[in-house]
């Protein structure tokens, strides 16, 4: 059975780094082994890869044999470069295919390439004769064992309440027998060819496992002439190199410290690194693995055979008049268009028949950092096999300043201690990668994390909490009217939301301290108190203040967010006008103008109400007049009741004439009052 191996990328890093062999060939191309090809350069990347460069002097035609771990082959085939200045034809590379062993595991009827279990193996041999040995009823001795021979019907898993198990179904002379696999002590195939094939598949599985453990060789055939230097380079998986810092604050200067940067490097191979030119690189390059080593096959569409076949039987209806001759026959152009459309559709289906699997597609490019750490050691480096080393990258003075960092966001929820921190400036001249920092201040003080730091860039790092300082925060919010403007019948109102946070910080220590208060930015708000900040990040204001010894310090941050509102005075009610006209937050000039608008609004509403009353009274009289006329028709004009209704009708007519004249005057007055009010509003400009 195939053994599944997890090949660690870090292990294959240097298996072959020192064992890159070459041989020179004489005129008859006989290969002669030579000493190891010297390693010239080694670059370790933070992306988990390593770049190796070897160089060797050869003469004439030569052969280089490069052994690689199995898991490195995809990266090697993606990056291997050979520089042979004496060859016009260029080198030729060959290597054993991935199918050399793995493909051969699919032999005859036995396929072990997917590491099947015993039930799966037997299930693939349905119909073959199989003999199984079961334990006897009296015990498990060889003499008591029960042997059953039959042809394989099925190998299946059955589920039950107690769990599932596999069962074997055999058809023998006495009928079908079902046997649980857990009872099978041994088995053998009746067909010797099947048994031989099974043994061969196991041999190939073992060979594939050995290949994955020991790797593959790539042979480079150099076609040049003369004595020359040849270089070979490639990229393989490797352990990520790490960095750590030590920052010593016990310096003569109050604003300086001593920074040491150490690189931690792992040689996880079986060969030594001996005097290699070592470079360390940190950044965010695009790095991926693509399956270049295993053969890749595309699935193709299966089309029907282009054979004539046979004609189907067909019957015909009775013919009618020759109306078909009146129909337009399809033109040649239309037929060509339909044919082209069908071809395009077929081509599209064919192109989509075998898309590149998602596992084979390269990942999308990632955005990298604008700057990359690149450091090459001045002297060659040697590291023993299966060993790690710490190499000093820098030992330099660094500008640093002690301070406290107080988080205003955290202080809103509870009382907190500010962070012990340093403001450092990268005066080392190096681009410093991200890594841990061990702080020493007359002894170990704490650990910090340093993000990527460019030359001359400043950064805060914190390494503990100051227990002698405590602080908390309180927040309040209010909304006030900040301005009002009347223009062209509109009231433009400006309000502001005032957000205020007060931080109370107490220093119980005997020394004054510098503290940086971090306040979360309220987007859309304007900082009004204090009027400026010392530093701003994407989400924080930073205010630097001095915290006196043995005292309490109160710091207030105020932000204002404006809100705007528009009100149409023409459509406003008297109550709205009165509220603004009597609002003491509004200027006296605006109040006076709005008071006059309120008076005109009252007059216009009163005139409109009077016109409405007259119109309503007139409509009521008209309704009453109509009722009187109907009563007159009912009782008759000459009856006593009819004469009384006629008298009342004449009285209504007199009142209606009077109301009609009054309604006309009231409507004209209401119109004039409304126009006076609207003209006043449109001409009103107050602020």
pLDDT over threshold 90, residue 424: yes
Can you tell me the mean pLDDT for 436-447?
93
**Of 464, 496, 512, at which residue does a domain stop?**
464
Cβ-based neighbours of 555, under 8 Å, separated by 6 or more: 502, 503, 505, 517, 543, 545
pLDDT over threshold 50, residue 33: no
Whether 534 and 627 share a structural domain:
no
Q: What is the Cα–Cα distance from 58 to 31, expressed in whole angstroms?
A: 13
Q: So what's the pLDDT on residue 656? A: 76
Whether 404 and 543 share a structural domain:
no
Query: Please, what is the average pLDDT of the chain?
Result: 78
Q: What is the Cα–Cα distance from 19 to 24, expressed in whole angstroms?
A: 16
Whether 419 and 492 share a structural domain:
no
pLDDT over threshold 70, residue 10: no
Whether 519 and 536 share a structural domain:
yes
Residue 490 main-chain phi, psi, to 5 deg: -120, 145
How far CA 243 is from CA of 48, 284, 618, in Å, comes to 14, 16, 99
pLDDT tens per residue, range 72-131:
889 999 999 999 987 778 888 888 877 654 444 454 556 666 667 778 878 888 888 888
CB 466 within 8 Å of CB 419:
yes
Q: What is the Cα–Cα distance from 111 to 118, expressed in whole angstroms?
A: 12
For residue 614, say if its preceding peptide bond is cis, omega within 30 degrees of 0: no
Can you tell me the mean pLDDT for 591-596?
81
Pick from 227-236, 496-505, 625-634: least confident? 625-634
DSSP string over 170-230: EEETTEEEEEEGGG--EEEESSHHHHHHHHHHHHHHHHHHHHHHH-EEEEEEE---SEEEE
Highest mean pLDDT among 182-196, 213-227, 491-505, 584-598: 491-505
Can you tell me the mean pLDDT for 392-397?
90
Q: Please report whether residue 498 resides in a domain.
A: yes
pLDDT tens per residue, range 465-512:
999 999 999 999 998 887 888 887 788 888 889 999 999 999 999 999
Q: What is the Cα–Cα distance from 402 to 423, expressed in whole angstroms?
A: 7
pLDDT over threshold 60, residue 326: no
How far CA 357 is from CA of 510, 534, 620, 645, in Å, comes to 68, 54, 87, 101
Whether 95 and 220 share a structural domain:
yes
User: 175, 194, 176, 185: which is closest to 147 by C-alpha?
Assistant: 185
pLDDT tens per residue, range 544-561:
999 999 999 999 999 999
3-state secondary structure of 551: strand
Residue 525 main-chain phi, psi, to 5 deg: -95, 155
Q: Where are the beta strands (DSSP E) in 78-185?
A: 81-83, 92-95, 106-107, 110-111, 129-134, 146-158, 165-172, 175-180
Cβ-based neighbours of 492, under 8 Å, separated by 6 or more: 484, 485, 486, 564, 565, 566
CB 300 within 8 Å of CB 353:
yes
pLDDT tens per residue, range 514-540:
999 999 999 889 999 999 999 999 999
**Of 342, 359, 383, at which residue does a domain stop?**
383
Biggest alpha carbon distance in the chain? 154
Structure tokens at 362: 């390269």
pLDDT tens per residue, range 332-380:
344 334 433 433 333 333 333 333 333 333 333 333 444 578 889 999 9
Q: Please report whether residue 158 resides in a domain.
A: no
CB 459 within 8 Å of CB 439:
no
Cβ-based neighbours of 131, under 8 Å, separated by 6 or more: 147, 148, 149, 187, 188, 189, 190
Q: What percent of the chain lies above the pLDDT cut of 70? A: 79
Q: Which residue has better confidence, 373 or 419?
A: 419
Residue 143 main-chain phi, psi, to 5 deg: -70, -25
Structural domain total, the chain: 4
Q: What is the Cα–Cα distance from 151 to 148, expressed in whole angstroms?
A: 10
Q: Please report whether residue 144 resides in a domain.
A: no
Domain extent for 111: 1-125+199-240+273-295+369-383
Q: Please report whether residue 132 resides in a domain.
A: no
**Of 568, 587, 603, at which residue does a domain stop?**
568
Q: Please report whether residue 658 resides in a domain.
A: yes
Q: What is the Cα–Cα distance from 155 to 152, expressed in whole angstroms?
A: 8
Whether 379 and 402 share a structural domain:
no
Whether 496 and 600 share a structural domain:
no
Whether 428 and 482 share a structural domain:
no
Q: Please report whether residue 653 resides in a domain.
A: yes
Q: So what's the pLDDT on residue 320? A: 55
Q: So what's the pLDDT on residue 16? A: 36
Q: Please report whether residue 379 resides in a domain.
A: yes
Q: What is the 3-state secondary structure (H, E, C) of 253-292?
A: CCCEEEEEEEEEEEECCCCCEEEEEEEEEECCCCCCCCCC
Can you tell me the mean pLDDT for 246-251?
84
Whether 523 and 416 share a structural domain:
no
Whether 90 and 229 share a structural domain:
yes
Output Rg (C-alpha) for the chain, integer angstroms: 48
Q: Please report whether residue 65 resides in a domain.
A: yes
pLDDT over threshold 70, residue 17: no
Whether 404 and 455 share a structural domain:
yes
Whether 580 and 643 share a structural domain:
yes
Q: What is the Cα–Cα distance from 575 to 569, expressed in whole angstroms?
A: 11
């Amino acid at each position: 059975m195939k053994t599944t191996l997890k090949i660690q990328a870090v292990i294959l890093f240097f298996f072959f780094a020192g064992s890159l062999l070459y041989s020179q060939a004489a005129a008859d191309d006989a290969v002669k082994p030579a000493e190891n090809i010297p390693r010239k350069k080694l670059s370790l990347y933070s992306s988990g890869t390593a770049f190796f460069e070897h160089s060797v002097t050869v003469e004439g035609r030569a052969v280089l044999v490069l052994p690689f771990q199995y898991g490195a082959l995809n990266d090697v085939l993606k990056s291997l470069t050979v520089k042979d200045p004496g060859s016009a034809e260029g080198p030729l590379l060959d290597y054993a295919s991935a199918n050399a062993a793995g493909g051969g595991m699919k032999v005859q009827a036995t396929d072990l390439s997917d590491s099947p279990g015993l039930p799966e193996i037997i299930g693939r041999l349905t119909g073959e004769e199989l003999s199984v040995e079961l334990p006897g009823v009296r015990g498990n001795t060889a003499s008591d064992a029960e042997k059953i021979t039959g042809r394989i019907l099925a190998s299946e898993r059955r589920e039950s309440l107690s769990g599932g198990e596999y069962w074997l179904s055999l058809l023998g002379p006495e009928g079908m027998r079902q046997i649980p696999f857990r009872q099978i002590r041994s088995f053998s195939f009746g067909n010797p060819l099947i048994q031989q094939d099974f043994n061969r598949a196991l041999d190939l599985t073992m060979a594939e496992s050995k290949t994955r453990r020991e790797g593959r060789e790539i042979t480079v055939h150099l076609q040049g002439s003369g004595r020359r230097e040849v270089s070979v380079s490639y990229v393989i998986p490797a352990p990520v190199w790490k960095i750590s810092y030590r920052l010593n604050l016990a310096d003569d200067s109050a604003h300086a410290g001593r920074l040491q940067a150490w690189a931690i490097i792992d040689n996880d191979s079986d060969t030594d690194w001996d005097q290699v030119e070592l470079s360390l690189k940190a950044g965010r390059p695009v790095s991926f693995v693509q399956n270049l080593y295993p053969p890749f096959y595309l699935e193709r569409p299966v089309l029907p055979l282009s054979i004539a076949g046979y004609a189907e039987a067909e019957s015909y209806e009775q013919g009618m008049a020759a109306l078909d001759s009146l129909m337009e026959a399809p033109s040649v152009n239309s037929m060509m268009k339909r044919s082209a459309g069908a071809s395009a559709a077929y081509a599209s289906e064919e192109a989509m028949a075998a898309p590149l699997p998602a596992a084979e597609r390269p990942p999308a490019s990632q955005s990298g950092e604008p700057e990359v750490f690149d450091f090459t050691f001045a002297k060659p480096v040697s590291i023993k096999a299966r060993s790690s080393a710490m190499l000093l990258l820098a030992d330099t003075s660094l500008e640093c300043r002690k301070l406290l960092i107080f988080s205003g966001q955290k202080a809103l929820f509870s009382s907190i201690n500010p962070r012990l921190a340093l403001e450092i400036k990268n005066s080392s001249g190096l681009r410093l990668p991200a890594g841990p920092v061990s702080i020493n201040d007359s002894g170990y003080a704490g650990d910090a994390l340093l993000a990527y730091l460019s030359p001359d860039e400043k950064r805060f790092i914190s390494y503990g909490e100051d227990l002698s300082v405590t602080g908390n925060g309180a927040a309040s919010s209010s909304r006030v009217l900040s301005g009002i403007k009347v223009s062209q019948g509109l009231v433009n109102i400006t309000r502001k939301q005032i957000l205020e946070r007060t931080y109370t910080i107490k220093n119980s220590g005997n020394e004054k301290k510098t503290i940086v208060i971090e306040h979360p930015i309220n987007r859309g708000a304007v900082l009004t108190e204090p009027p400026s900040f010392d530093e701003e990040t994407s989400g924080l204001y930073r205010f630097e203040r001095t915290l006196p010894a043995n005292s309490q310090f109160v710091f207030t941050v105020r932000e204002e967010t404006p809100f705007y509102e528009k009100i149409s005075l023409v459509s406003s009610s008297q109550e709205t006008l009165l509220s603004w006209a009597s609002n003491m937050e509004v200027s006296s000039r605006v109040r006076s103008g709005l008071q006059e608008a309120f008076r005109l609004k009252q007059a216009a509403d009163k005139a409109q109400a009077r016109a409405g009353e007259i119109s309503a009274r007139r409509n009521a009289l008209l309704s009453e007049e109509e009722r009187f006329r109907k009563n007159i028709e009912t009782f008759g004009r000459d009856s006593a009741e009819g004469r009384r209704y006629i008298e009342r009708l004449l009285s209504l007519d007199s009142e209606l004439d009077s109301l009609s004249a009054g309604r006309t005057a009231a409507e004209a007055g209401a119109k004039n009052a409304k126009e006076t009010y609207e003209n006043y509003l449109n001409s009103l400009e107050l602020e």
